[in-house]
Amino acid sequence: MYHYTPMRKSFSFRLILILGISVLFAASSSRGAGSRSQEKPVYKTTGSEGRITGEISFVGEAPQPKRIDASGDPVCETGSRELFTEDIIVTKGKLANVLVYLRSGGPLGWYVFEAPTADVSISHQFCQFVPRILGMQLQQTLQIATGDPTYHNIHFTPRENADWNQTQAPNSDPLHHKFTKSEVGIPARDNQHPWERAYVSVFTHPFFAITARNGLYEISGIPPGQYTIVAWHERFGEQTAEISIGVGEQKTLDFAFKPPEK
């Protein structure tokens, strides 16, 4: 009969331990190599990029702005201009403050797009957020300024990012904030002045625009490909369209919004 000795047991244990460590090291190295292979290259312009232009119309009778009761703050109530709601701005049948952006498709998932180094700014002006709708890239910093002689507040209530709530004293230095995740339509409000509203959208790419009062937009520098493009409005929701951009091609894409049926 064969008998194990303590020496053989010790040797077997060391052998199993060495084999286990080797397997773990190999697996770790494999994961590291896979991670490196999945890193996306930074997109470099080639001269083949195209652009999309268009206008956003409003169909039907536009709701009229309503006067804001700012009596809770004498500075806002007696300011240099009357305050009106700004959630719907229609001028000659064109809709302002519509965010137009590329949501998916083409090289958006293949590359990393470098962001401008400059900060993006929003400010309290005459007891309103200016601008009301803004876009930025994930790596950029948002600067929040105030020039009003009253206390203000900015409170972000995102779905994906962290809640952020700060108060600003009259004529104080700007605040600064960075978002950690891409997200469309992050609400911002002023807890001191409940009528003050804004929406910030954070992207991993630079392909977005916001319509002015003439309803026009332009997105340029788009690599050739097939894309889903979105037009988003804070009150009227979003519309989507599929579009193909060829080498150096310019496309026109219009959208039309209307009030929801009662």
Predicted TM-score (pTM) of this structure: 0.84
The whole-number pLDDT of residue 231 equals 98
pLDDT by position in tens, the chain (length 262): 434 444 444 444 453 444 444 434 444 444 443 343 368 999 999 999 999 999 999 999 988 999 999 999 999 998 768 899 999 999 999 999 999 999 999 899 999 999 999 999 999 999 999 999 999 999 999 999 998 999 999 999 999 999 999 999 998 999 999 999 999 999 999 999 999 999 999 999 999 999 999 999 999 999 999 999 999 999 999 999 999 999 999 999 999 999 877 6
**What is the strand order of the sheet 175-177 is part of?**
128-130, 120-125, 142-146, 175-177
User: Given this structure, which CATH class describes domain 50-257?
Assistant: mainly beta
- For residue 29, the model assigns a pLDDT of 44
Q: Where are the domains of the chain?
A: 1-39, 50-257
Which pLDDT value is given to residue 38? Answer: 62
**DSSP H helices in the chain:** 6-37, 74-77
How many angstroms separate the CA atoms of 137 and 115, rounded? 6
Q: Which residues contact 28 (CB under 8 A, 6 or more apart)?
A: none
Burial grade of 176 (CB within 10 A; 0-12, 13-18, 19 or more): exposed
Structure confidence at residue 79 (pLDDT): 76
Contact criterion met (CB below 8 Å) for 15 and 23: no
Q: In terms of Cα–Cα distance, which of 101, 97, 134 is closest to 215?
A: 97
Structure tokens at 108: 């958006």
Q: Give the model's pLDDT for residue 44.
A: 95
Percentage of residues of the chain with pLDDT beyond 90: 79
CA-CA-CA-CA dihedral for 143, 146, 150, 155, to nearest 10 = -30
